[in-house]
Amino acid sequence: MKGLLIRYAYILITLIPVSIYLMSFCLFEINSESSLKIKTMIVESVSGHQATPALMIIEYKARVLWLSSSLLSITAYLIALTWSVVTVNRCCQKSHLTKMSIIGFAILSLTLLQIGRADSESAMYNSIFDTTYHALKVSTLITHLLLDKIFIIINIVNVLAAVTPVFILIAICSTISTPIEMSAQKPEFFMKRMTYMKQGIMVGSIVLLFGIIHMVAWMQWPAAMLEESELKKAALNAFAAISQYWGITFSLLLICLYAAAAIYWQAQVKAILLITQADIDINKWMEDNGFTVSWQKHVLQLSAMLTPFLAGSFSSGIEMLTMH
């Protein structure tokens, strides 16, 4: 039983970030009633404002910032998807690919189902999507034609945001799947796989960072349609808290995923090299090549994994830009 768990641990590791995300989602959903009230207040306030020249310029600035974040996000998602497919093809044998495909399809189905079933009873739906969309819908600054274009863009971003992390997760876990042939299990093989794993963490960090930047730009857009008031300040503070919450979530799941994958891979490498490469100093080789749990050996990855948290905490600088 133990040998079976070790052999398929790379599949079980995929459940770690999924579990963290589900826990974060469930905790956030306790705000469903409050999110609906906040949405109603903001939408009513936006609908009551006239289109003054100053508001038109401020809204235009917020719109360009959101379009910039959309460009960043879409580009990052497409690059990440390409990297994921290439990495899975490099690392997965047919037996592994079938298992990983089933896991990926299951996670992807649940994610898309969550998007499809989202409604006003969901705090995540209200806070991150629907408040801004309804504010744009009732604003005199946004035409129907422009709203249709915005709707298409935001849906493209949302679908890519749901799909891409699943592909990255599968790609990262495929890098720690060992080959069946013992002849392939050489030091160079493990070093290459470790490089792929680190690449995956960097790609995932960048994608989630840009996701937070886009989230902030989208959520803060309605504030640009309001005159300076206590409601505007309170709304910006609430949006900053939401982005910080999800920034913490994204950094936490990245760190837990990387720690689990690295520790498992280190144990696998050591066990296999003791059998196949008994003529080398295993401990020294592993230390020299970064197969350790010491944080000093993984500073670059840790820094990258903290960027979603930092972006959420500082609202990616977008709040400061929109306040002036």
Question: Is 98 within 8 Å of 105 (Cβ atoms)?
Answer: no
pTM of the model: 0.87
Instruction: List per-residue pLDDT tens for the chain, 324 residues long.
Output: 555 556 667 778 888 999 999 999 999 999 999 999 999 999 999 987 777 888 899 999 999 999 999 999 999 999 999 999 999 888 877 667 777 778 888 888 887 777 777 777 889 989 999 999 999 999 989 999 999 999 999 999 999 999 999 999 999 988 887 665 555 567 778 888 888 999 999 999 999 999 999 999 999 999 999 888 888 889 999 999 999 999 999 999 999 999 898 888 888 777 777 777 667 777 777 777 777 766 667 788 889 999 999 888 775 444 444 444
Give the torsion sign (CA, 22, 163, 109, 262): negative
pLDDT in tens, 56-95: 999 999 999 999 999 999 999 999 999 999 998 888 776 6
Q: How far apart are CA 101 and CA 46, in angstroms?
A: 45
Q: Encoding tokens for residue 231?
A: 């409601």
Sort residue 179 into left (φ over 0), alpha (ψ -120 to 50) or beta: beta
Give the torsion sign (CA, 34, 248, 316, 213): negative
Map residue 86 onto helix, strand or coil.
helix
pLDDT in tens, 11-49: 788 889 999 999 999 999 999 999 999 999 999 999 877
Distances from the Cα of 45 to the Cα of 33, 50, 136, angstroms: 19, 11, 12
Q: How far apart are CA 225 and CA 50, in angstroms?
A: 9
71-87 in b/e form (b: 16+ CB < 10 A) is ebbbebbeebbebbeeb
For the CA atoms of 132, 226, 241, 14, the dihedral, rounded to the nearest 10 degrees, stands at 20
Map residue 188 onto helix, strand or coil.
helix
Looking at residue 61, the DSSP 8-state letter turns out to be: H
Q: Where are the domains of the chain?
A: 2-175+185-322
